[in-house]
Amino acid sequence: MYQAIASACRSVPCSFGRRTALGALLLACAETTPALGRPDLGSPASAPLAHVTFASRRSRSLDLDDRLPLFDRIGFSSPSAILHDPVRDVYWVSNLNVDGPAGSGFISRLDPEGKRVTLNFIDGRSAGVELNAPHGLAISGDSLLVADVTAVRRFNANTGAPEGSIQIPGTRYLSDVAVAADGSWFVADVGGDPNLASVPEEGTDAVYQISAAGQVSTVARRPDLGGPFALLPDQRGVWIACTGSSELLLLVPNPDGSASPDAGRLELPGGVPRGITSIPDGTLLISSWTQRAVYRGYRDGPFEPVITGLESPADMDYDLRRKRLLIPLLSGQALAIFELAPFEPSASTPP
């Protein structure tokens, strides 16, 4: 019966008018893999609906009816970042698990259509695994990279086995990791615990670069970086959503490894940005914690709200294969997944 339902789900055309029904069918035929070291989740339908809040439809923004509710009943615990892995075609979700004991963060592995879910594919409570407060995620070859407070941890993306970690001395709170075109990694230190009311300016605000050989160099480290939180490398350098200053910052690493000055700054609307991603039309999507929204625009601005009413939107990603925006809702204990229409800015032109 479940195979028949799944077949019917795949045959339904994806349209705004049928998304709610399609999401319900997918949820009904979902299989949940027993979580390692945790109770068997059983059927997702047996769990309570995740606490997700949305505003009513506004002009030029999406609402609840446009959302794909594939993972509402999974049981995330403070999901802070999501990543689409195009090679394995899975979604990775980092969970802070702030209500659990120290060292109990975990990483979920999800089938994009909701058919198979492993809630804690990598679990900080398992023997030999260290995960404290996992935030940003990246894929480098067959390794899953995780920004985890003071270290970047590596796990085998196929098995979940630990592959070691790189400690960065003097860091306060690593919030994101991203892979550059040359294979090196960028890492952001937001300068304080982002889960607190404010991020203290203690001079630890920094962006680092880690070479393929594991050598760490400082791209920039100074209090006026503004709390670098989410990273997006491109051919120019690395774009940074700064949660303290509510700015979009561009840094271009110096070839000699010396500290880099600002290559560009743009004030962002809303406040307290927590996520950044790009899509093929050249626009950026940036989540605002305080405005409970996602803004969209070109790198030189302006940015406009395209999704509103999101509870604590965190570090996002874009599924290019399915044209979906993936948004973890940290205090909402859920994911919000949207299909985006072409961008038609009211007053903006591509750079």
Per residue in 299-327, pLDDT (tens digit) is 999 999 989 889 899 999 999 999 999 99
- The CATH number that applies at residue 277 is 2.120.10.30
One-letter identity of residue 263: A
Q: How many helices (H) and strands (E) does the chain have?
A: 2, 24
Look at the chain and report how many structural domains it folds into.
1
- Evaluate whether residue 78 is within a structural domain: yes
Cis previous bond, 200, omega within 30:
no
Listed residue (128, 122, 83, 126) closest to 106, CA to CA? 122
- Evaluate whether residue 4 is within a structural domain: no
- Evaluate whether residue 205 is within a structural domain: yes
- Confidence at residue 345, expressed as pLDDT on a 0 to 100 scale: 63
CA distances from 211 to 37, 183, 224, 251 (A): 35, 8, 25, 17
- Evaluate whether residue 278 is within a structural domain: yes
Long-range contacts of 161-166 (CB under 8 A, 24+ apart): 162/128, 162/129, 162/130, 165/130, 166/210, 166/214, 166/216
- Confidence at residue 258, expressed as pLDDT on a 0 to 100 scale: 86
- Evaluate whether residue 41 is within a structural domain: yes
- Evaluate whether residue 24 is within a structural domain: no
> Residue 328, by phi and psi: left (phi above 0), alpha (psi -120 to 50) or beta?
beta
- Evaluate whether residue 19 is within a structural domain: no
Residues of the chain with pLDDT under 70: 1-66, 195-202, 342-351
Q: Which domain holds residue 166?
A: 31-339
Cα Rg of the chain, angstroms:
19
> CA angle, 268 as apex, 265 and 271 as ends, to 5°?
130
